[in-house]
């Protein structure tokens, strides 16, 4: 076990009452609180201080809260290409009057939790402690992460909208090579891959995952119902083979079942098509 160190929490926003309350809730030598009053300062401290958790007020002055989160995600993604590390947990604080569009954008950036003003500060403190405990155990930010592999930008956006609304973090790439990069440096709960990719097929991606020993649940999506391809995908460990066009609600149920471990491979395509 390495020597314990204080867990760093960066609070980005000029909410003095929240800062003071968190300072009381997180008192002691287990936590080190850092403060930033502007978006630019928050980005600089995220890079220089490497916090374990960032609380971002989306109504930040200067650089917006969403842009701060984008910059943090971009920086940590660059770092993960060099060293293996967990993605920093982020809590977003929304202005009064819950803005659903703003929440969706925050969820697409893989925030761990969203609080809308006003909210009980003790609830925020509890969530901070929960996420830091996960961090200390080597876990992720309390959100299930789905990797979507599809060459079509509009389809990737569709998946983002579907699963971000369900509280999942959605990472999208356009081909198998980028998918394998994400697999190497990120904890994933599920991969949804199109069968027809520009560099290799979804089945070939499954083979590559098996060769490098990555045991991640995979769902293959295709417009082809070829029994040969279906059988090969299932033999390689695909949890589901979904025929397009699919019914969104049925796909969402399959995804939830698969991530919870209750979905088992079947000998025929998963009944998520429009004809189901």
d(CA 137, CA 103): 28
The residue-averaged pLDDT of 81-100 equals 72
| Bigger pLDDT: 264 vs 13 | 13
pLDDT at 139: 47
- Confidence category of residue 78, pLDDT binned at 50, 70, 90: low
d(CA 23, CA 16): 10
C-alpha distances in angstroms, 132 versus 13, 53, 72, 144, 177?
20, 7, 18, 16, 32
C-alpha distances in angstroms, 91 versus 21, 56, 128, 179?
16, 6, 8, 26
In this predicted structure, the answer to whether residue 83 has a pLDDT above a threshold of 60 is no
pLDDT at 207: 93
Question: 3-state SS of 165-213?
Answer: CCCCEEEEECCHHHHHHHHHHCCCCEEEEECECCCCEHHHHHHHHHHCC
d(CA 186, CA 196): 24
The residue-averaged pLDDT of 9-31 equals 78
In this predicted structure, the answer to whether residue 264 has a pLDDT above a threshold of 50 is no
* pLDDT tens, residue by residue, 27-41: 777 888 899 888 999
C-alpha distances in angstroms, 195 versus 176, 217, 225, 248?
10, 15, 11, 18
Domains assigned to the chain = 7-136 (3.40.50.2300), 145-259 (3.40.50.2300)
C-alpha distances in angstroms, 27 versus 37, 127, 183?
21, 15, 37
* pLDDT tens, residue by residue, 149-193: 999 999 998 998 888 767 678 888 999 998 988 887 677 889 999
Q: What is the pTM of this model?
A: 0.56
In this predicted structure, the answer to whether residue 273 has a pLDDT above a threshold of 70 is no
pLDDT at 98: 64
d(CA 89, CA 99): 21
């Amino acid at each position: 076990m390495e020597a314990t160190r204080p867990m760093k929490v960066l609070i980005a926003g000029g909410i003095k009452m929240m800062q003071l309350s968190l300072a009381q809730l997180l008192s002691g030598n287990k936590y080190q609180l850092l403060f930033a009053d502007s978006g630019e300062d928050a980005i600089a401290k995220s890079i220089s201080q490497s916090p374990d958790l960032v609380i971002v007020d989306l109504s930040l002055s200067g650089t917006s809260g969403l842009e701060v989160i984008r910059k943090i995600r971009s920086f940590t993604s660059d770092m993960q290409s060099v060293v293996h590390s967990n993605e920093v947990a982020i809590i977003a604080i929304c202005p009064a009057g819950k803005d659903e569009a703003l929440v969706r954008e925050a969820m697409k950036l893989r925030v761990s939790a969203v609080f809308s003003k006003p909210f009980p500060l003790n609830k925020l403190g509890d969530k901070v402690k929960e996420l830091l405990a996960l961090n200390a155990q080597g876990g992720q930010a309390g959100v299930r992460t789905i990797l979507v592999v599809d060459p079509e930008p509009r389809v990737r956006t569709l998946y983002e909208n579907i699963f971000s609304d369900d509280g999942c973090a959605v990472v999208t790439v356009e081909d198998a090579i980028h998918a394998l990069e994400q697999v190497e440096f990120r904890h994933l709960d599920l991969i949804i891959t199109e069968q027809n990719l520009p560099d290799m097929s979804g089945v070939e991606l499954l083979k590559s995952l098996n060769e490098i020993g990555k045991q991640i649940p995979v769902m293959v999506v295709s417009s082809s119902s070829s029994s040969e391809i279906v059988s090969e995908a299932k033999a390689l460990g695909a949890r589901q083979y979904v025929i397009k066009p699919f019914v969104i609600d049925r796909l969402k149920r399959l995804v939830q079942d698969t991530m919870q471990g209750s979905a088992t491979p079947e000998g025929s395509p998963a009944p998520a098509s429009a004809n189901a």
